Amino acid sequence: MATAAKKQRTKPQYELLYHPGIPGRGEFIRLALEAAGVAYNDPANEKKEGYDIVRSSCDPTSTGDEDGNPPVFCPPALRVHGEGKNGKTLLIHQTPNILLYLGPKIGMAPEDDEVVKLHINQLTLTALDLTNEAHDTHHPVGVKLYYEDQKEESLRKAEDFRESRMPKFFGFFERVLKGNKEGNGKYLVGDKLTYADTTLWQTVDG
Ligand SMILES: N[C@@H](CCC(=O)N[C@@H](CS)C(=O)NCC(=O)O)C(=O)O
């Protein structure tokens, strides 16, 4: 992996398409790449006109691109030149889908162990469910509405989140850590860092 990472530092293969200036869901992808030491481009944070690339990739009128990729619903998305259909550009979205793709390629999931891959993916999906539920405490009525316009509902939602959902999620991840003897309480799956760990870390930190 070190050689691959070195090669990519000259010309990054991966392009993360996300909103500028905020960690958001883009951070789950960034963390996995950073932990693996794999270089990537993040155009919206690199140059002023970079966000145009993100916006055009997620064009709300698109029916798909000329490389055979279906439309992207919203960021984060990942673009990989030469890895799509017939050697064209691959453009994928949905955070866990991007991680599922990247994991084995960057050493953050095994390449050939289907069972372990599924375990990593299910824990990642669960951590992302927790992220979504945390997000919903501020937007229980509508994603487009400001927090201030749904404060009352937010307070109710937050109470349930704190008292029922958080303990359930954290209790679950404690059990996973306890049950994974190989991980010595440090890793969720196996005896090394995977993208399930970086995702859970960001969920808790974020
Ligand atoms: N399930 C998607 C959710 C993506 C998402 O909610 N993206 C946000 C930024 S973090 C966005 O740009 N949303 C615009 C929208 O939903 O219209 C994922 O995990 O990638």
Tokens of 98: 């991007």
Q: What is the pLDDT of residue 57?
A: 95
- 25 within ligand 1 shell (Cβ under 6 A): yes
Atom from ligand 1 closest to the CA of residue 58: 12
Across the chain, mean pLDDT equals 94
Cα–ligand 1 centroid distance for 130 (angstroms)? 15
Cα–ligand 1 centroid distance for 116 (angstroms)? 27
Residue 79 to residue 15: CA distance in whole angstroms: 5
DSSP, res 89: -
- 74 within ligand 1 shell (Cβ under 6 A): yes
Cα–ligand 1 centroid distance for 115 (angstroms)? 28
Q: What is the pLDDT of residue 10?
A: 54
Residue 118 to residue 100: CA distance in whole angstroms: 9
**65-93 pLDDT per residue, tens:** 999 999 999 999 999 999 999 999 999 99
Q: What is the pLDDT of residue 2?
A: 44
Atom from ligand 1 closest to the CA of residue 128: 19
Residue 78: which H helix or E strand, with range?
strand 77-80
pLDDT at 29 over 60: yes
Q: Are strands 14-17 and 40-41 parallel, antiparallel or unpaired?
A: parallel
pLDDT at 3 over 60: no
Cα–ligand 1 centroid distance for 69 (angstroms)? 18
Q: What is the pLDDT of residue 18?
A: 98
Cα–ligand 1 centroid distance for 178 (angstroms)? 32
Peptide bond into 96 cis (omega under 30): no
**121-160 pLDDT per residue, tens:** 999 999 999 999 999 998 999 988 988 999 999 999 999 9
- 41 within ligand 1 shell (Cβ under 6 A): no
Q: What is the pLDDT of residue 108?
A: 98
In this structure, the dihedral spanned by the alpha carbons of residues 8, 11, 15 and 18, taken in order and rounded to 10 degrees, is 100
What is the spatial order of strands in the sheet that 90-93 belongs to? 40-41, 14-17, 77-80, 90-93
Whole-prediction pTM value? 0.93
Question: Which residue has better confidence, 49 or 4?
Answer: 49
